[in-house]
Amino acid sequence: MSKPYQYLDLAAVRAHLGSSRGRDYWRSLEELAESEGFQDMLEREFPRQAAEWTNDTAGRRHFLKVMGASMALAGLGACTRQPIETIMPYVRQPEEVIPGKPLFFATAVPVAGIATGVLVESHMGRPTKVEGNPEHPASLGATDAIAQASVLDLYDPDRSQTLTYLGDIRPWSSFLGAAREALNAQIPKGGAGLRFLTGAITSPSLADQFRTLLAKYPAAKWHCYEPAGRYAQLAAARQAFGQPVNTYYRLASADVILALDSDFLCTGPTSVRYAADFASRRSVRGNQIAMSRFYAVESTATPTGAKADHRLPVRAADVEAFAAAVASSVAASGAAGSQTATGPHAAFIAALVKDLAQHRGTSVVIPGEYQSTAVHVLAHAINAALGNVGKTVVYTDPLDPNPVDDFESLRELGQDMDAGKVEMLVIAGGNPVYNAPADFGFTQRMSKVKLRIHMGLYADETSEFCQWHIPEAHFLETWSDARAYDGTITIMQPLIQPLYFGRSVHEMLAAFGETPSQSPYDIVKGYWNRQHPGADFEDWWRKAVHDGIVPNTALPAKTVALKTGAVTPPRPVEGQGIEIVFRPDPHVFDGRFANNGWLQELPKPLTKLTWDNAALVSPATAERLKLQNEDLVDLEYRGRKVRAPIWILPGHANDSVTVHLGYGRTRAGRVGNRAGFDAYALRTSDAPWFGSGLAIRKAGSKFTLASTQMHYDMMGRQIVISGTVEEYRKDPHFVKERAEEPPKELSLYPGYKYEGYAWGMAIDQTACVGCNACVVACQAENNIAVVGKDQVQKMRAMHWLRIDTYHKGSPDNPETYFQPLPCMQCENAPCELVCPVQATSHSSEGLNDMVYNRCVGTRYCANNCPYKVRRFNFFLYSDWNTPSLKLQRNPDVSVRSRGVMEKCTYCVQRISEAKIEAEKEDRTLKDGEVQTACQGVCPTQAIVFGDINDSSSRVAKLKAEQLNYSLLAELNTRPRTTYLAALRNPNPEIEKA
Amino acid sequence: MKTPIYGLMAEFDNPTALASAARRAREQGYRKLEAYSPFPIEEVNEALGQHQNRLPLLVLIGGIVGGITGYLLQYYVAVVHYPLNIGGRPVHSWPSFVIVTFEMTILFAALTTVLGLLGLCGLPMPYHPVFNVPRFALASRNRFFLCIEAADPLFDRFQTADFLTGLEPREVSEVAH
Amino acid sequence: MSDERRNPVIAPGHTFATVTDKISAIVLTRKTPTHWLIPFAVASTLLMVFLWAVTYLFVRGVGIYGVKIPVGWGWDITNFVWWIGIGHAGTLISAILLLLHQTWRNSINRFAEAMTLFAVACAGMYPVLHLGRPWLFYWLFPYPNTMGIQPQFRSPLVWDVFAVSTYATVSLLFWYVGLIPDLATLRDRAKNHAARIIYGILAMGWRGAASHWQKYETASLLLAGIATPLVISVHTVVSFDFTVGIVPGWHSTIFPPYFVAGAIYSGFAMVLVLAIPLRAMYGLADMITPRHLDNCAKVMLATALIVAYSYVFEAFIAWYSGNPFEMYAIWNRMTGPYWPQYWLLIFCNLIFPQVLWLRKIRTSAFWLFIVSIDVLVGMWLERYVIIVVSLHRDFLPAAWGMYSGSIWDKATFLGTIGLFFFLFFLFIRSLPVISIFEVRTLLPEADVTEGVEK
């Protein structure tokens, strides 16, 4: 397992990069040689070497070396130049770049087609950090972990950098030639042999391009396949309403929430907004108590379930029965009082239904994206019965202009391929060879297609099976547009010219059509011009691009009638035995982010695993099958077999095994290759998300997994102080009583006075949903290195901010708490006292400063830190070699070298920058003017940072709350970071039972 | 005034003999004399009337200087040179400064002891006339020597030799310059 | 005095001449004996291992060791404390026993002091090697610099720097002063011209003048007086590295005396480990007599009891304090994942050494050797348990982890053992292992019989 972690073995990496650089530049040189622009750069820059070029081989080799270097420069040149087209900086700043002054540009991160609006920070034309777009409905200023990490994908040195035909480099022009030829052959047949395969697409302009193209080739077909698509939602809509509809929820106005196997807080393009709305109803401030009640029924334990007031682990297959029971008793309760449900969870259901019934119109039932159609239909029925539709539940037209059942679509394509009807297959984005259902045999079928074209960010598994591979432009490199969960459209603008000469799908389609040379800018702008003809278009365009949202494009709410008989009686759970549950990985998703080091090293919620996926089982099941963590097992399911390591997950449903998709990649890149196992190998189209009949056989050996946390028990210590709203109502001081803070007078020494700013942070553990966005945000903002599996497993991960997870109660269904842990910035910092060289000391504003270049690395400070938030560069972890990665770095934060300690600084660079601005304007900082990276992206605003000397600041107010306490207060470290106790709002009726 | 020889030396083979010889020589009135032995013998020192010793005083001074240096060094660094807020402790946190002060005291005292010793003994001394007596090599093994220096007012090449012979030494030899 | 007669500190029949010749012969002999060559070869090989490990360390970084967050110190600091501890016996013997007029010390203090020096040299390696950036170790010393920043004098590590470097310096001076008269002896007895020159220079023209002897005696007494508080302070300061920290299992007031006792304990063990083979190899049994072994054993037994008391009290106080973190720390030592190390250390340091109550064992070279080795192992484990087992589970369970030393930790440790014996065997061959002039004073003929009346 050493290969994927070459990041550690510096020598190896250096060698690898060295060689690969040479080759790549040789490639790109050949490619570039086509463009005369490069030719004359050659003349201009290297006349002498150019002469040498003709001489002996040694001379040539030397020339290539120099050329390699020059290419790096050329690359840099390309990066520090903004696109020629005018793009709109988000803030009203002078628009030309001021050195050292970052600009922000509004765009959107599309995942599986659906957009989250963001603002991207650009330093001298280099996008370095993603922030949320406060005006965007899906963001409200926050983002999820994937959006945070997307900027690293942009600079990934493993992205495909050259257009290839059967592995040989070809210029774009020769591809155009080949494509034209094939297309011309199609014209007479009306494109009968032409097929397009894309992922889910919500882009109006792209859809428009497809329409025109399909108009030209009426017999051609456009297929869509999303491995982690929202099939159930679409199918259910068709079954329930007879038409495709898009559903979303207004959690801000929901008093009672029931989640049916849904991880709505942390998964999917809506999660950020849902988390925000959810948290807005889970806050206790003084005597303002706004607590919704949240019931979760789920198979695999998720962060969402961890936030529930009542959580019920049931097998995925049994969720339908549960939903049906709820539905029937709700229907009944509608008519004649509440009827008692039957079955295993009768009491639970009775109480739940009573609660729901008491909150008609202010309750909501959320079916899991990865549940069955039937569950979705039932959810529609329950919501309808509770009169939630139009209040907490909103129906609109579908987001995708081409709403197809992904599996149907793919099956159809497969059949056509078998029938030899497909002569030209264009795969734009997506990686079907890797992620098509196992029963499709997609790979074999593809070989029947004459001309296969693949466009993607990586030369991946699919491009291996295509003659043509075209490097795709990253979304930060090109123009496009996309819809958010509610239909709101964002026009995506590029922040940088394509680093690796990638092209966008827009360009390719244009090339297939009438206007081969049209740029994405012209295409997108042209499309919108057609939508908004008229004189004011330029202003409209500027505003839309600038704001990052096209005004009033949110899809209107739509009233749909539930078809009678839509609700089918629950099918008996077919096939007993152990159930297998498929889920997209919380971080690498369906596998498309597998080569993203930040996401790979990000500890997954609850399991805290990094760099691997595992077969997750409940403690009871593990005990029954005599399984332990890291045992290798053979998972046999419907005649297919994969070998996977076991990980025991408290709270997981019994007799059920969760496997995450997206691992076991073979052509992901240096980071993603050979990490984890490929769960797609077991996944079939008829049971995309779960199915029974899994056989588990111990392989007898072990497989080392790198988890960043071993102990989940608080050992009776006051770490996460938790309680119920009731307790709080009875005795608001209960927290203070548990966390005894020694009085200031206790100290022998006179305390320091902090005049002016005194920075502090308060973290609301009731709000935190453990989504990990803050961890990646911190990594991106502070140039935190990726260390690789081996080092993580040695407990040397570098994250400055970690999310400690604790379980309480029985392992079968524990209460789970999240505790984000940055540096506490103690006023009596134990770390400072023991540093022999004054490398860490206190600033006048109460920051626990770390002076990297003074540090000699005794690690005494880390030993003496009771919170263990200090991180040490045991090796040279930062990548000092890869040019493209250097471009991502935040210029305001020094890149640490080997042998020095580092830790959270409260984003001191942001503080300084804001202070300088304020001083220029001769004023003091306003509250909220400085946001730490973690605070900025937190969807639930669980993290609040500010000046605690300013009694009107939000943080000062939070610290005044009764729920506020210091972690390990008894040590008298006087932390500046404090916590608000985690509160729950359980249903007394269930509590009793 | 330069004497023709450095002095006369008598060799004995046990400490008792040396001690009594030394005493007799002192009684005779000789003052510029020195005894040489392979190990320290208190009686001989008494016999030769060697009492005063300034070493302890030097060491005391050395120690005090060391201590003061140590404390001032820390005070200067922590309070004057670059005062920093370290873990909320006062810049002049004297309890933490005790140890280094102590160690510096010890260090300086030890150094003064050794340097003082060498200084007072006039060591290192590459050349000394007594080494001109071939048998003197045994002074570091098992022989005991008494040397009356020519610089002594009572010294007379022949009488002194007779006097020494009277002490029943193994032999008496002249010490050339 | 009956004990004196039963086994004297020096065998009868020796004269000034015989002791001088016998001891100086070890150094001045022309042919190097095989019983010297073989162990020296082994030591040199281990020294090579050390150089290899250190080179790799400098190339790759301290990550090659097993250290991690939360266990930032492992074998490295364990070895540091272990060696420093061993380094205590020498000065203790030469200083404290001198002040107490324990004349029996005269024949073992020389090589005990040498042992101290070499142990301190080995110990001194670790604080440098364990750094993330070892090439910057000198930043721990105060010196005028362009960075305008100086050491942080509240940090126990800076105290260490001063304590250990002072200790090394004073031990060296003490040792050298003690050597001067013997160097003179070697100068006078060396046949080889070069040797004459070298010993001559080192002896600085010492000629055994009575007036010099008088100052010399004062100087030794003063040095002893100075070294005594120093030797106590050094391990006290080392214990501050832990007690000043807030880690449960470190933060304890009992450490200073407990560490000093432990240091003397392991120090005497090492003295015996060296003395027993030495007296056999060079037939020094009549100068390092059963009496010496017996006394060393008694010191070990005494310190063993102090250490035992500390272990018991550590556990008691943890329970008595009622501090959950402290309680858990001790409980975790006894029953946690590192229980074997803890109980093995209890056996090595407490239980097995009780055999020293038996006179038969105390005077049997073989058994003493076994006990000494056992004590050295036990004391190493003690430091390992204090450092690693306290760190691996401190306050927040989420940050707990497991530690184990890497191959490089072990190579470095072996390496310093090699360095230690390399230096020690060089010393045996080039300097008198027993203080000749002090042994002379032990001989009956050294007393002035006829009283000197005034």
User: Which of A56-70, A124-138, A262-276, C183-197 is the least confident region?
Assistant: A56-70
Find the CB nearest C452 among B19, B77, B96.
B19
Q: Is the pLDDT of residue C395 over 50?
A: yes
Contact state of B40 with C216 under an 8 Å Cβ cutoff? yes
With respect to residue A453, please indicate whether it lies within any of the assigned structural domains.
no
**Assigned domain for C182 exists:** yes
CA separation for the pair A360, A253 (Å, rounded): 12
Confidence of residue C89 (pLDDT cuts 50, 70, 90): confident
Q: How distant is the Cα of B41 from the closest Cα of chain C, in angstroms?
A: 7
C70: cis peptide before it, omega within 30°?
yes
- Best of B30, B32, B39 to substitute, by most chain C Cβ atoms within 10 angstroms, is B39
Flag whether A504 is in a domain. Answer: no
Instruction: Decide if C69 and A862 are in contact by the 8 Å CB cutoff.
Output: yes
Write the Ramachandran bin of C220: left for phi over 0, alpha for psi from -120 to 50, otherwise beta: alpha
Who has greater pLDDT, A46 or C361? C361
Report residue A260 as tokens. Answer: 């049916």
A334 band by pLDDT with thresholds 50, 70 and 90: low
Contact A833 B84 (CB under 8 A): no
Do A681 and A782 share a domain, yes or no? Answer: no
> Considering CB atoms only, which of A751, A832, A974 is closest to B86?
A832
* Widest CA span in chain C: 82
| CA nearest to C269, candidates C123, C374, C382, C381 | C374
| Mean pLDDT score, B127-143 | 89
% of chain B at pLDDT higher than 90: 45
Q: Could you report the per-residue pLDDT of C95-112, keeping only the tens digit for each?
A: 888 888 888 888 888 889
What average pLDDT score do residues A448-472 get? 92
In eight-state DSSP terms, residue B160 is H
Residue of C64, C160, C244, C395 best to disrupt the A interface, most CBs of A under 10 A: C395
| pLDDT classification of A629: cutoffs 50, 70, 90 | very high
CB contact under 8 A, C155 and A871: no
In the DSSP assignment, the letter for residue C93 is I
Give me the CATH number covering residue A634. 2.40.40.20
Q: How confident is the model at residue A912 (pLDDT cuts 50, 70, 90)?
A: very high
In one-letter notation, the amino acid at residue A478 is T
Q: Would you say C304 and C355 are in contact if contact means Cβ atoms under 8 Å apart?
A: no
Chain B environment of C446 (Cβ under 8 Å): 15, 39
Distance CA A351, CA C152 (A): 63
Give yes or no for B21 touching C (CB within 8 A): no
Percent of chain B with pLDDT over 70: 99
Same domain, A826 and A917: yes
Residue to mutate among B74, B82, B89, B94, with most A CBs inside 10 A, is B89
Share of chain A above pLDDT 70, in %: 88
Closest-CA distance of chain C to residue B61, Å: 13
Cβ atoms of residues A107 and A493 within 8 Å: yes
Question: pLDDT tens digits for A49-59?
Answer: 333 344 444 44
Q: Which residues of B touch A849 (CB under 8 A)?
A: none
What's the average model confidence in pLDDT over A816-822? Answer: 95
Instruction: Say how far apart CA A720 and CA C64 lie, in whole Å.
Output: 35
Name the pTM for this structure: 0.89
Nearest CA in chain C to A838: C152
Question: Domain limits of chain B?
Answer: 7-52+128-175, 61-121
Same domain, A284 and A355: yes
Summarize the confidence of residues A9-18 as an average pLDDT.
45
Nearest to A175 by CA among A460, A516, A523, A459: A516
The pLDDT-based confidence of C357 (bands split at 50, 70, 90) is very high
Please identify among residues 98-127 of chain B the ones whose CB lies closer than 8 Å to any CB of chain C: 99-100, 102-104, 106-107, 109-111, 113-114, 116-118, 120-121, 123-127
Tell me, yes or no, whether A185 lies in a domain: no
Helices B94-121 and C210-243, axial angle in degrees (round to 10): 160
Which pLDDT tens digit goes with each residue over A561-587?
888 877 877 777 666 789 999 999 999
Q: Is the pLDDT of residue A7 over 80?
A: no
Cα-Cα-Cα-Cα dihedral sign, residues C351, C354, C356, C358: negative
Q: Is C2 domain-assigned?
A: no
Mutate to test the interface with C, among A721, A806, A858 (most CBs of C within 10 A): A858
**Number of helical H runs and strand E runs in chain A:** 33, 40
Q: How far apart are CA A236 and CA A246, in angstroms?
A: 11
- Subunit contact A750:B87, Cβ cutoff 8 A: no
Residue C76 lies in a domain: yes
Q: Are strands A126-132 and A848-850 parallel, antiparallel or unpaired?
A: unpaired
- Domain residues for A40? 1-67
Q: Is A817 on the interface with C (CB under 8 A)?
A: no
Contact (CB<8Å) C152/B86: yes
**Residue A30's pLDDT is what?**
36
The H or E element containing residue A374 is helix A373-385
Q: How many residues does chain B have?
A: 177
Residue C404 has what pLDDT? 93
Query: What pLDDT shows up at residue A894?
Result: 93
CA nearest to B36 within chain C: C209
B64-114 pLDDT, tens digit each: 999 999 999 999 999 999 999 998 889 998 999 999 999 999 999 999 999
Let me know if residue C450 belongs to a domain.
no
Nearest chain C residue to B103 by CA distance is: C163
Q: How confident is the model at residue A26 (pLDDT cuts 50, 70, 90)?
A: very low
Residues A681 and A797 in one domain: no
Q: What is the CATH number of the domain that holds A297?
A: 3.40.228.10
Question: Is the same domain home to A669 and A764?
Answer: no
Nearest CA in chain B to A750: B90
| Residue A345: predicted pLDDT | 83
* pLDDT score, position A18: 46
**pLDDT at res. A475:** 93
CB atoms within 10 A of CB C150: 22
* Selection from A721, A689, A1 nearest residue A367 by Cα: A689
Measured between CA atoms, how close is A827 to chain B, in angstroms? Answer: 6
Q: Which of C97, C86, C169, C201 is nearest to C435 (CA)?
A: C97
Å from C290 to nearest chain A CA? 45
Residue with tokens 């699919």: A462
Chain B nearest C-alpha distance from C409 (Å): 31
Question: Which residues on chain A are in Cβ contact (under 8 Å) with B82?
Answer: 838
One-letter amino acid for residue A866 of the chain = P
Question: CB C207 to CB B56 under 8 A?
Answer: no
What's the angle, vertex CA A128, arms to CA A524 and CA A264, rounded to 5? 75
DSSP reduced 3-state for A283: strand
Whether A586 and A701 map to the same domain: the answer is yes
For chain B, the maximum distance between any two Cα atoms, rounded to a whole number of angstroms, is: 82
Considering only CB atoms, C170 lies closest to which of B16, B106, B126, namely B106
Contact A78, A499 (CB under 8 A): yes
Mean of pLDDT values over C39-65: 95
Read off the DSSP letter of residue A120: E
- Pair A173, A181: CB distance under 8 Å: no
Candidate from A32-36, A355-359, C175-179 with smallest mean pLDDT: A32-36
Distance CA A623, CA A607 (A): 18
Average pLDDT over residues C320-348: 93
Q: What is the pLDDT of residue A562?
A: 85
Using CB atoms, which residue from A791, A806, A837 is nearest to C152?
A837
Please indicate whether, in this complex, the C-beta atoms of B88 and A827 are within 8 angstroms of each other: yes
Query: C453 pLDDT band (50/70/90 cuts)?
Result: very low
In a domain? residue C121 = yes
> CA end-to-end span of chain B, whole Å?
13
Cα–Cα dist C179/C113, whole Å: 11
Give the list of residues 6+ apart from residue A965 with CB closer than 8 angstroms, or none.
Answer: A718, A721, A735, A736, A738, A739, A741, A978, A979, A980, A981
Q: Strand A706-707 relative to strand A288-291: parallel, antiparallel, unpaired?
A: unpaired
Residue A383 lies in a domain: yes
Q: Please give the mean pLDDT across all residues of chain A.
A: 86
Same domain for A933 and A825? yes
Q: How confident is the model at residue A737 (pLDDT cuts 50, 70, 90)?
A: confident
* Domain of residue C272, residue span: 12-141+150-443
Band of the pLDDT at A61, cuts 50, 70, 90?
low
pLDDT band at A5 (very low <50, low <70, confident <90, very high): very low
> Strands A293-298 and A310-313, how do they pair?
parallel
Q: How far is A812 from chain C (nearest CA, A)?
A: 20
CB pairs under 8 A between B and C: 203
**How many Cβ atoms from other residues are within 10 Å of residue A695's Cβ?**
14
Strands (E), C98-237: none
Q: Which residues pair with B148 in a beta bridge?
A: B8, B33
Cβ-based contacts of B82 with chain C (< 8 Å)? 148-150
Q: How many domains does chain A have?
A: 4
φ/ψ region of B155 (left if φ > 0, alpha if ψ in -120 to 50, else beta) reads: beta
Lowest mean pLDDT among A298-307, A327-336, A478-487, C120-129: A327-336
In the predicted structure, residue C94 carries a pLDDT above the cut 90: no
Mutation target vs C (from B93, B117, B146; most C CBs, 10 A cutoff): B117
Is C429 domain-assigned?
Answer: yes
Q: Which CATH number is C258's domain given?
A: 1.20.1630.10
For B:130-169, CB contacts with C below 8 A are 130-131, 136-142
- B177 to chain A, any CB pair closer than 8 A? The answer is no
A20-34, A145-159, A822-836, C42-56: lowest mean pLDDT where? A20-34
Partners of chain B (3+ Cβ pairs below 8 A):
A, C
Per-residue pLDDT band for C181 (boundaries 50, 70, 90) equals: very high
What does the alpha-carbon distance between residue A953 and residue A947 come to, in Å, rounded to a whole number?
A: 7
Q: Which residues pair with A259 in a beta bridge?
A: A296, A366
Omega within 30 of 0 (cis) for the link into B124: yes
Percent of chain C at pLDDT exceeding 70: 97
As for how many domains chain C has, the answer is 1
User: Is A831 in contact with B84 (Cβ distance < 8 A)?
Assistant: no
The pLDDT of residue A63 is 47
| Tally of CA atoms within 13 A in the half-sphere of A283 that contains its CB | 18
What radius of gyration do chain B's Cα atoms show?
Answer: 25
